[in-house]
Structure 1
Amino acid sequence: MTTPPIPPPEPSPSSPDAEPLLSQRAALVLLMAAFIGTVVGVLTFFSASNAAGALLAGVTAFGASTLGLHKLIGR
């Protein structure tokens, strides 16, 4: 009789490889800020038909909403 192979051990939660790159809160804040920045940029482009102005408005909205959401969404 042969014995079945032993499965590799699962990584422990305390190992550095098990930690996520971003926390769920940080991912949520950045994702919502990207969505808000995209919406503002697209609406600005439709309003003014100026790509540079729309990009500037979208990036500004992303930065401002990142700061606002950081303070709004608690730890």
Structure 2
Amino acid sequence: MDRPLLSQRATLVFLLAVIGGVTAGVLTALAGEGTPRSVLAGLATAGLSVAFFDRLIAAETAGCREAAGAGAGEAEDRG
């Protein structure tokens, strides 16, 4: 098996979601809430972060592709 289990994009999305979830859980615990509420806050944040970062990274890559395509078209029009 030579191919990776997840793509780089998927790995980045999941990593950012885990970091966000852990951060939310720790901040909730430091705020004085109990352990169950802290865990639920972390899991909820991680779950919502997956969709957020997926769209955020998809928007960034689409913008880069459009910019690269527009630059190539301008060079052809000038010639």
TM over 0.5: yes
Q: Paired residue for 1:53, among 34, 37, 41?
A: 37
C-alpha distance in 2, partners of 1:48/1:71?
A: 33
C-alpha distance in 1, partners of 2:53/2:2?
A: 27
Q: 5+ residue gaps in structure 2? A: 62-79
Residue 8 (structure 2) pairs with residue 24 (structure 1): yes
Aligned length: 59
Larger helix proportion of the pair: 2
Q: Which residue of 1 aligns with 2:55?
A: 71
Q: 5+ residue gaps in structure 1? A: 1-16
Identity of aligned residues (%): 39
Q: TM-score, normalization: structure 2?
A: 0.70
Q: Which residue of 2 aligns with 1:13?
A: none
TM superposition shift of 1:52: 0.2
* Two-structure CA RMSD over aligned residues (Å): 1.0
